[in-house]
Amino acid sequence: MKTAVDPLAAEQQFFSSLTSSDMDALEKILARDFLLVDVMSGSEVTRDAFMDVLRSGMLKFEDIKALEKRVRLYDNTAIVTGRTHMSGHFNGERFALNSRYTHVYVELHGRWQLVSAQGTQIAPD
Q: Which CATH number does the domain housing residue 16 bear? A: 3.10.450.50
Read off the DSSP letter of residue 4: S
pLDDT of residue 40: 79
Q: Is residue 2 part of a domain?
A: no
CA distance 23 to 109: 20
CA atoms within 13 A on the CB side of 39: 20
Contacts of 54 (CB under 8 A, 6+ apart): 18, 21, 23, 26, 60
Count how many domains the chain has: 1
Which residue type sits at 6? D
Residue 32 is assigned to a structural domain of this protein: yes
Structural domain boundaries enclosing 106: 7-122
Q: How far is CA 82 from the centre of its chain?
A: 11
**Residue at 42 is within a domain:** yes
Domain contains 96: yes
Tens digit of each residue's pLDDT (9 = 90 or more) over 14-66? 999 999 999 999 999 999 999 999 877 889 999 999 999 999 999 999 999 99
58 closest CA partner among 66, 67, 49, 69: 49
pTM: 0.90
